[in-house]
Amino acid sequence: METLKLITIILTSSGIWKALEVLINLRLEKRYRKATIKQLDIQGNAAIIKNWQEWSEKMEGRIRELESKNAELLQVISGQKSRIMHLEKIVCKLEKRNHILSAEIKKWNHGFTT
């Protein structure tokens, strides 16, 4: 009977230790899963931040490029405006000259018809 009690005590104590071991392992696995998920979140966030930085750097480069092209186009437009103003002055002078010549031609034609 004593051996039976001793066997029962040993089995019970080893069963309790086994149960504690299982509980501890479950907690450790849960912590490990949480840590793994946290690490994956950190890696994902780092990748997102890196992508965001690369995108913003590319956009800044494109903006600088467009600004330089814009400055060039503004210079071209300014040159074309001054050329147009110059040509308008020439056209105005030629219209006046044309008017004068038309008047002289009318005088000439009037002189021959009379």
**Distance, CA of 56 to CA of 40 (rounded, Å):** 24
* String of DSSP letters for 70-96: HHHHHHHHHHHHHHHHHHHHHHHHHHH
Closest by CA position to 9, among listed 1, 86, 35? 1
pLDDT in tens, 64-82: 999 999 999 999 999 999 9
Residue-wise pLDDT tens digits, 5-60? 766 766 667 767 777 788 889 999 999 999 999 999 999 999 999 999 999 999 99
